[in-house]
């Protein structure tokens, strides 16, 4: 897994970020979702190297082997703004002031925030299996609340930690054969760590509070993505079921947006790596 990649920790401010990087050419930053680690890209990253990119795969703050400060009552330490700052610092430490960017699931919210807050750093952004958090919350229906109930459960204080840490192997389910054994082992070690579980929950708590507030302030100010945006979604997940064409939701948020569905379940980088790598490489090459 990640042959010919370098793995290291980079200290950026209050965070220690574990990152894998390899290849030569234009830099591409790949951000994983919940509850995965950077290892989720192990089938996509080599394909992007073959297409001539330099690929950087970090663990987000608090996930996997990355660490941040202790959480506080307002959850700002795990806001997407804070995590985006980490990643700009990581990329600068690796010698990249400007780069292409892709994020999946929770990583897509970080990618969105990074592209909004640091427009000079991002040449193109791919956002996978998401619409803005504030757009989700503006469209709450019984169907959404039933399918996405975990958002609101994770927001509760202390209870989710007790439930998940009592039996993490039952709570977080995965299959070593479909994920790949090394990816699975890394993910399982992370989900068994109460420090990681707490940080992952703080990600969701920040989402419903400080991150939502940041997005609502952006809309009032008329802020939009300045770089081209590619929206990808899993056809065997529920984003299209809930909202129809996700591109339509993204249009008010971006000057240049296009998208397509991927024939996959939710974890598309593991389930459909060829299609994902092809879409990203084609988009980042234009």
Indicate which residues carry an active-site annotation: 105, 266
Q: How many CB atoms lie within 10 A of CB 79?
A: 25
Best CA proximity match to 200, nearest among 95, 93, 107: 107
């Amino acid at each position: 897994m990640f042959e010919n990649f370098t793995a290291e920790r980079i200290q950026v401010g209050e965070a220690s970020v574990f990152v894998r990087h390899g290849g030569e050419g234009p830099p591409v930053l790949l951000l994983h979702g919940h509850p995965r680690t950077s290892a989720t890209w192990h089938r996509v990253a080599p394909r992007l190297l073959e297409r001539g990119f330099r690929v950087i795969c970090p663990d987000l703050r608090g996930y996997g082997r990355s660490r941040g400060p202790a959480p506080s009552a307002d959850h700002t330490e795990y806001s997407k703004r804070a995590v985006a700052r980490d990643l700009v610092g990581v990329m600068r430490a690796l010698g990249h002031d400007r780069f292409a960017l892709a994020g999946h699931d929770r990583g897509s919210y970080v990618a969105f925030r990074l592209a909004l807050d640091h427009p000079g750093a991002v040449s193109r952004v791919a956002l996978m299996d998401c619409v803005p958090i504030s757009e989700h919350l503006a469209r709450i229906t019984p169907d959404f609340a039933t399918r996405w109930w975990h958002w609101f459960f994770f927001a509760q204080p202390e209870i989710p930690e007790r439930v998940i840490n009592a039996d993490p192997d039952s709570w977080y389910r995965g299959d070593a054969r479909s994920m790949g054994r090394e990816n699975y082992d890394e993910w399982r070690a992370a989900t068994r760590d109460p420090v990681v579980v707490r940080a992952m929950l703080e990600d969701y708590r920040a989402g419903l509070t400080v991150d939502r507030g940041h997005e609502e302030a952006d809309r009032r100010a008329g802020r939009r993505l300045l770089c081209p945006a590619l929206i990808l979604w899993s056809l065997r997940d529920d984003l299209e079921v809930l909202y129809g064409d996700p591109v339509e939701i993204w249009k008010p948020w971006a000057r240049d947006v296009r998208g397509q569905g991927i024939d996959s379940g939710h974890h598309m980088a593991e389930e459909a790596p060829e299609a994902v790598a092809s879409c990203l490489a084609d988009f980042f090459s234009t």
